[in-house]
């Protein structure tokens, strides 16, 4: 799951069944641990990180400090959908099931969010059985519509982060030892061109009113990941997500590369512009007469930024 704080983080999460403790007594989902936990586990479909590799269970994104709150809000909605859907997530070990990977793209400046759902064919993944039990075609269209409705009914939820105590365990000659490092900070740190901002009020203002404005589906029957040019199906909202970087405006398509941290990119580009000015002026040339090559330009961010000089 790849994200940052300010503006367009791109988040990739996996949709799969993950072993979860079976709660016998206690409040599931609260900050308070349950009083009793059965040692048996059940599998529940969730959106999360593959922290232990593709063959291991998933981990919720909520305790991660660098994961934006809006990403956790989207994960909550999709988790609710998966818990009631007859269509199962993809199992990468046997290549059965449908839902595979969810990519989230956000802009805190334009309050827009784009989602791309990678899925196996509704008729079944590469490992589907000939008996037909992995065919979910009859549920596909109605479940797609239900998912889109759940994601677009209102603003993107902004759940509070749930940072746990961090314990570091290290073996020694006499046995394992645990050292309590302490709690992570309750708020994320936003690095800006003017300094560091840790204001909760500022973050809440940035997040207020964000909506899912674009949804794509991408069908893929391969065993790994699709190529960047693999086709996508537009199912809701705008074809592109709008973003602002300095004086420039961009329309970002599902497969386009864009800097993860927009404010950080602005700082980087301003430094590049200033360096070019110093080099060209030192040689007696004018910046507007300088020829620049924008190699591997992606969406052309450097090119457009230099045009504003």
pLDDT band at 144 (very low <50, low <70, confident <90, very high): very high
Specify the pLDDT at position 135: 95
Mean pLDDT of 117-131: 94
The least confident of 13-27, 37-51, 60-74, 285-299 is: 13-27
Report the alpha-carbon distance of residue 62 to residue 288 in Å, rounded: 47
What Rg, from alpha-carbon coordinates, does the chain have? 23
Higher pLDDT: 96 or 178? It is 96
Highest average pLDDT, of 57-61, 132-136, 273-277, 299-303, comes from 132-136
| pLDDT of 34 strictly over 70 | no
Mean pLDDT of 24-38: 36
Residues 195-218 have pLDDT tens digits of 334 334 444 445 678 999 999 999
Specify the pLDDT at position 13: 65
Specify the pLDDT at position 222: 92
pLDDT band at 65 (very low <50, low <70, confident <90, very high): confident
Q: What are phi and psi of 70, to 5 degrees?
A: -65, -30
Report the alpha-carbon distance of residue 74 to residue 62 in Å, rounded: 11
pLDDT band at 17 (very low <50, low <70, confident <90, very high): low
| pLDDT of 249 strictly over 70 | yes
Question: What mean pLDDT, rounded, does the chain reach?
Answer: 75
| pLDDT of 266 strictly over 70 | yes
The least confident of 13-22, 78-87, 115-124 is: 13-22
| pLDDT of 70 strictly over 70 | yes
Report the alpha-carbon distance of residue 216 to residue 238 in Å, rounded: 10
Specify the pLDDT at position 160: 83
CB 75 within 8 A of CB 60: yes
pLDDT band at 272 (very low <50, low <70, confident <90, very high): confident
Higher pLDDT: 92 or 86? It is 86
| pLDDT of 114 strictly over 80 | yes
For β-strands 211-219 and 112-119, DSSP reports them as: parallel
pLDDT band at 302 (very low <50, low <70, confident <90, very high): low
């Amino acid at each position: 799951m790849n994200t940052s704080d300010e503006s367009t983080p791109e988040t990739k999460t996996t949709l799969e069944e993950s072993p979860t403790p079976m709660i016998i007594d206690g409040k599931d989902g609260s900050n308070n641990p349950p009083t009793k936990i059965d040692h048996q586990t059940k599998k529940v479909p969730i959106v999360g990180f593959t922290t232990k590799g593709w063959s291991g269970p998933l981990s919720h994104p909520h305790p991660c400090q660098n994961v934006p709150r809006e990403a956790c809000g989207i994960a909550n909605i999709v988790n609710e959908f998966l818990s009631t859907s007859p269509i199962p997530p993809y199992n990468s070990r046997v290549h059965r099931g449908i839902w595979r990977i969810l990519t989230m793209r956000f802009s805190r400046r334009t309050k827009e969010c784009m989602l791309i759902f990678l899925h196996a064919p509704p008729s079944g993944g590469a490992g589907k059985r000939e008996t037909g039990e992995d065919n979910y075609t009859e549920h596909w269209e109605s479940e797609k519509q239900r998912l889109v409705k759940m994601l677009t009914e209102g603003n993107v939820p902004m759940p509070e982060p749930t940072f746990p105590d961090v314990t570091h365990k290290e073996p020694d000659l006499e046995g394992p030892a645990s050292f309590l490092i302490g709690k992570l900070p309750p708020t994320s740190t936003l690095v800006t061109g003017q300094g560091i901002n840790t204001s909760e009020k500022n973050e809440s203002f940035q997040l207020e009113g964000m909506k899912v404005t674009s949804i794509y589906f991408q069908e893929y029957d391969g065993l790994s990941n699709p190529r960047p040019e693999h086709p996508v199906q537009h199912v809701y909202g705008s074809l592109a997500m709008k973003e602002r970087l300095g004086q420039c405006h961009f329309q970002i398509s599902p497969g386009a590369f864009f800097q993860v941290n927009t404010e950080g990119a602005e700082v980087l580009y301003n430094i590049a512009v200033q360096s070019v000015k110093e080099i060209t002026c030192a040689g007696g040339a004018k910046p507007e007469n300088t020829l620049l090559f924008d190699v591997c330009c992606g969406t052309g961010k450097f090119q457009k930024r230099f045009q504003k000089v």
